[in-house]
Structure 1
Amino acid sequence: MNTQRASEIAESPIMANVTLDGTPVYIQHVDEDTEMARVFPLDHPERELSVPVGELAEQPAEE
């Protein structure tokens, strides 16, 4: 995923289907200067992580 798209997702009120190594995550914040994202797994919100934006993947919406 690129930094611009990660920022759009983080700022959107609509939940996007984003994964980190196959685990669904929520993007809290994106630092565009360092290309790092602050995320947490949906099933473990207490486990915040800082990860490179390039490690995140947006999955197609389920219909």
Structure 2
Amino acid sequence: MEADRAQEIIDSITMINVDYHGIPVYLKQLNQGENTVTVFPLDEMNHEQRVDLHGLTEDGPY
């Protein structure tokens, strides 16, 4: 995923399906200088982690 698109998803009022290596995640914060984003799995919201942008795929709105 490109950094610009990740930021659009973060700023969106619509929930957009995003997976990190097949795991549905919520995008919290873009770390653009590092090409990473802070995410957490939708089924484990207290498990926040930084992941590489290239591991993210967008599936569209719910």
> What's the % identity of the aligned pairs?
35
CA distances 1:7-31 after superposition (whole Å, capped 9, x unpaired): 1101111110000111100000001
- Tell me the equivalent position of 1:56: 56
2:40 aligns to what SS in structure 1? strand
Q: Which has the higher strand share?
A: 2
Q: Distance in 2 between matches of 1:55 and 1:21?
A: 6
Runs of 5+ consecutive residues of structure 2 not aligned to the other structure: none
- Tell me the equivalent position of 1:10: 10
Q: TM-score by structure 1 length?
A: 0.89
Q: Distance in 2 between matches of 1:54 and 1:3?
A: 9
Q: Which has the higher helix share?
A: 2
1:13-52 correspondence to structure 2 within 5 Å: 13-52=13-52
